[in-house]
Structure 1
Amino acid sequence: MLLIYDESSRDLAGTMGIELIYKVFPDGEQYIRLPVDVSGQRVIYATRAYPGQDKSILRSMLVISALRDLGASRVGLFMPYMPYARQDRRFLDGEAISIDYIIKAFRHAGLDDLYVVDIHKPEVLERNGVGINLEPFQLYSTALTGLKNPLVLSPDVGSLWRARKLAQLLEADFDYLEKSRDRYTGEVSMKPKDISASNRDVVIIDDIIATGGTIINGIKALRGEARSIRVVAAHCLLLNEADEKIHGAGAAEIICSNSIITPHSKIDVGALMRQVMN
């Protein structure tokens, strides 16, 4: 198996593979060239998709198409953060189901295997007939040390499965944060649905932190009750200084993967890629 990577994912590849020859012309158009004969080989192309999602998607399509055209026996794409994954269904009439269209475009270009890390809704891979969702929960459990009487919480019921998987590794309880609205004042509050967070080390887990609004509200609700609060997510965009706001709300630590490079990238998704390569 051969690994080809671009400059964005050089650190993920480590000593493995060969770097793609890539440049951008003055008019913004992209140029790629494969630096090795791929005929008859199984090849995985590794790339980060953020920042510059649209450019990364187009570059990936060029690489996939070239690999197929030049005779690779099987073509894979390792894209740990999958752009547009949150638009996974038609919420309003007339909307594009963005993630489906992108995966279909990759497949049309010649993709056989798609490897992502903790995609927003893993079922989109199943319905598109391609893709392996690499789970980082074991890496999280290794990074989370010194917890006393831990409780793992998801910010909503949709991510409860993530809380359950991490809790099993930590031998901890798990629950999700439930929103409630006072029918008289209209005030919205959040608390664990079934399990008290009192005097516990709490871990809030999600797949993506964009602006962090939901997590911040959850932290504020737990502050003064929990012994400590940590936040874990695979993909940390941290828009509008979200990390400062999360710390300001009372989080002791933010743990992110390096699918997107941030000061909080403590989890190496390159380890998941190397498992695939082996």
Structure 2
Amino acid sequence: MAAGDRGHGSGEIKLVAGNSNRALAESIATYLKTPLTKCSVRRFADMEIFVEIQENVRGADVFVIQSTSFPTNDHLMELLIITDALRRSSARRITAVIPYFGYARQDRRASGRTPISAKLVANLITHAGADRVLTLDLHAGQIQGFFDIPTDNLFAAPVMERDIKARMELDKLMVVSPDVGGVVRARALAKRIDAPLAIVDKRRERAGESEVMNVIGDVKGRTCILIDDIIDSGGTLVNAAEALLERGAKDVLAYITHGVLSGGAVARIASSKLRELVITDSIMPTEAVRVAQNIRVISIAPLIGEAIGRTAHEESVSSLFN
């Protein structure tokens, strides 16, 4: 069923956007042919967040679109306060649509006396009044289990697959995981485009020595595609690209879902040997990203828009995983 042909089911669909990624929210609204609900999210003089829903949402099926990206705590608080405002305004159901779920890298206790912040954030979202969660490429799939409400974790792989097939010669490609932990994600994309798989294994032989990049797989003469869920500082990706080229790779590109790109990451990518870094708009691109010559942004608005439409009308979302 086309997005524009859908009725309102048992309750009217309402889309509410926070301030984290207004452009993505507007693209989703365009896809669904549903205008964004009027909502004021502003700050008091002491930077407290104040929210006012400026339309009737009583009995509505409301989707709050808000990535918890930088500044993470501000955007998380916006999400919680918007959710509380909707609950107190008698919304029938509230779905937190979180394209990028901040704190996802704190999904376990790495050492003693440390938090599992991803679980804490899941609890906050649930207790604020969310009835379900829709997110994209969680850093660790088990985070779905941190929520005590239904949680759909979409994958950007179908969007990346279409982009790769439209732009490249598939018989010369090799998909590469930049570390051992990302092998499952890389293998899934390799299977989709029928390409071989390689792995970059980084290890430190002795304390105080620099990391050695070992490439598992024959990349000679191949166009290598590095695949991962998050790029933050960009150091691992840049080093992996150099290691692949040293071992005879013809070319290196990277497809990453969430472009966190903190600190000097954009400059690091711009001056690297990567032919291109492709990221999604799960996090609103900065001006530096927009003007970078070798960074390109592809939109996940149709994917999330379709998932919202199907969720609202109790249709299957699992087919979108394919």
| Contact kept? 1:3, 1:18, Cα under 8 Å | yes
Say whether residues 1:110 and 2:116 are aligned partners: no
Say whether residues 1:90 and 2:135 are aligned partners: no
- Give distance in 1, aligned partners of 2:131 and 2:168: 42
- Give distance in 2, aligned partners of 1:95 and 1:181: 25
Q: Report the Cα offset of residue 143 of structure 1.
A: 2.0
Partner SS state of residue 120, structure 2: helix
Q: Deviations over 1:22-70 (max 9, x none)?
A: 2111111111111221111111111232221101111111111121222
| Compared CA separation, residues 189 and 118, structure 1 to 2 (3 A) | same
The equivalent of 1:256 in structure 2 is 279
Q: Deviations over 1:154-210 (max 9, x none)?
A: 112221121112112222112321135557x956322332x2111001000111111
Partner SS state of residue 217, structure 1: helix
| Contact kept? 2:175, 2:190, Cα under 8 Å | yes
Alignment of 1:28-43 (within 5 A): 28-43=47-62
Q: Quick one: which of 156, 173, 194 aligns to 1:136? A: 156
The equivalent of 2:242 in structure 1 is 220
In the alignment, residue 157 of structure 2 is paired with which amino acid?
Answer: F
Provide the aligned length of Structure 1 versus Structure 2.
277
Say whether residues 1:60 and 2:79 are aligned partners: yes
Q: Deviations over 1:54-111 (max 9, x none)?
A: 0111111111112122211211111111111101111111111111001101101111
Partner SS state of residue 95, structure 1: coil
The equivalent of 2:22 in structure 1 is 10
Partner SS state of residue 103, structure 1: helix
* Superposed structure 1 runs of 4+ greater than 4 Å apart: 180-183
In the alignment, residue 5 of structure 1 is paired with which amino acid?
Answer: A
The equivalent of 1:275 in structure 2 is 306
Say whether residues 1:168 and 2:191 are aligned partners: yes
| Contact kept? 1:10, 1:19, Cα under 8 Å | no
Q: Report the Cα offset of residue 7 of structure 1.
A: 4.2
Partner SS state of residue 68, structure 2: coil
Partner SS state of residue 76, structure 1: strand
In the alignment, residue 245 of structure 2 is paired with which amino acid?
Answer: R
| 267-276 vs 77-86, which moves further | 267-276
Alignment of 1:173-252 (within 5 A): 173-180=196-203, 188-193=211-216, 195-224=217-246, 225-252=248-275
Q: Quick one: which of 19, 24, 29 aligns to 2:43? A: 24
Partner SS state of residue 72, structure 1: coil
| Contact kept? 1:21, 1:33, Cα under 8 Å | yes
| Contact kept? 1:25, 1:31, Cα under 8 Å | yes
In the alignment, residue 308 of structure 2 is paired with which amino acid?
Answer: M
Q: Which runs of 5+ in 2 are unaligned?
A: 1-12, 310-322
The equivalent of 1:47 in structure 2 is 66
- Give distance in 2, aligned partners of 1:28 and 1:167: 46
| Compared CA separation, residues 65 and 197, structure 1 to 2 (3 A) | same
Q: Deviations over 1:100-137 (max 9, x none)?
A: 00110110111111111111101111243342111111
TM superposition score normalised by structure 2: 0.80
Q: Deviations over 1:209-256 (max 9, x none)?
A: 111122122111111411110011111122232233234331100001
Instruction: Calculate the aligned-residue CA RMSD, in Å.
Output: 2.1
Partner SS state of residue 96, structure 1: coil
